[in-house]
Amino acid sequence: MKELIEYIALSLVDDATQVQVKQEKIGNKVRLELKVAREDMGRVIGKSGKVATAMRVLLRVAAAREGKQANLEIAEPR
């Protein structure tokens, strides 16, 4: 699941060196945190949040296939 989010994020951003995905597992739940450069936040979130929503849907489907629940958080850049 982490690889899926990394792949999608890397295909969207200009600065691939700033893409970081952290994964935290708690039982059958998985929490992923995506960090990108400030300049790439708009691309990752998308107009009205459509890209971020699509990424979350794909992640939930991938997790469901493995019998897990997943959540994606897009971290605010510093």
C-beta separation of 13 from 53 below 8 A: no
**C-beta neighbour count of 41 within 10 angstroms:** 16
The pLDDT of residue 72 is: 97
- Residue-level pLDDT at 77: 78
pLDDT tens track for 4-46: 999 999 999 999 999 999 999 999 999 999 999 999 999 999 9
pLDDT value at position 5? 97
Taking only the tens place, the pLDDT of each residue in 48-60 is: 999 999 999 999 9
In 1-78, DSSP assigns E strands to: 20-26, 29-35, 69-74
| Structure confidence at residue 69 (pLDDT) | 97
Task: Give the range of the structural domain holding residue 25, as residue numbers without chain letter.
Answer: 2-74
Gap between the Cα atoms of 6 and 10, Å rounded: 6
**The total number of structural domains that make up the chain:** 1
CATH number, residue 56: 3.30.300.20
The label of the residue with tokens 């849907």 reads 57
